[in-house]
Amino acid sequence: MTERSWWGLTLLWFLAVLYGWTVLLEHRSGQARQDAQLAEWRRIFDIINGPSDSENLDSQLKIDRQQLKEDVQNLSFPRYTSEARKAARKYISHRLAALGYGPQQHAFMDGVNVFADRDGTAPGGQHFIVAAHYDTVDGSPGADDNATGVAIVLEMARLFALTPAQKTIRFVFFDREEQGMQGSKAFAMDAHRLRGLQGVFVFEMLGTTCTSEECQNWPAKSPQWMRPNDGQFIAAIGMLEKTQLMRALVNARRPDSPPVLAIPVPAQGYEWPHSRRSDHAAFWDRNIDAVLVTDTGDFRNPRYHTSTDTPEFIDWSYLNGAAEIAHRAIRRMANL
Residues 96 and 17 in one domain: no
Per-residue pLDDT tens for 141-161? 999 999 999 999 999 999 999
Complete DSSP assignment for 76-116: -S---SHHHHHHHHHHHHHHHHHTT---EEEEETTEEEEEE
Q: What is the mean pLDDT of residues 33-49?
A: 86
> From CA 56, how far away is CA 259, in angstroms rounded?
16
- What does the pLDDT read at residue 194? 95
Residues 112 and 196 in one domain: yes
Residues 59 and 43 in one domain: no
In sequence order, the 6+-apart residues with CB closer than 8 A to the CB of 157 are 95, 96, 99, 101, 116, 118, 130, 171
Per-residue pLDDT tens for 243-292? 999 999 999 999 999 999 999 999 999 988 999 999 999 999 999 999 99
CATH code at position 170? 3.40.630.10
- What does the pLDDT read at residue 166? 97
Q: Look at residue 130 and tell me whether its pLDDT is greater than 90.
A: yes
Residues 22 and 127 in one domain: no
Give ∠ CA 193-195-201 in degrees, rounded to 5: 70
Residue 171 near residue 277, CB atoms below 8 Å: no
Q: Look at residue 25 and tell me whether its pLDDT is greater than 60.
A: no
125: left (phi over 0), alpha (psi -120 to 50) or beta: left
Residues facing 220 on adjacent strands? none
- What does the pLDDT read at residue 30? 56
- What does the pLDDT read at residue 5? 63
Split at pLDDT 50, 70, 90, the class of 110 is very high
- What does the pLDDT read at residue 137? 98
Residue of 129, 154, 138, 137 whose CA lies nearest to 72 = 154
Range of the structural domain that residue 42 is part of: 1-48
From residue 246, alpha-carbon distances to 5, 36, 50, 152, 213 in Å are 67, 23, 12, 17, 27
Looking at the structure of the chain, the number of domains it has is: 2
Residues 142 and 276 in one domain: yes
Q: Look at residue 83 and tell me whether its pLDDT is greater than 70.
A: yes
To the question of pTM greater than 0.85 for the whole model, the response is yes
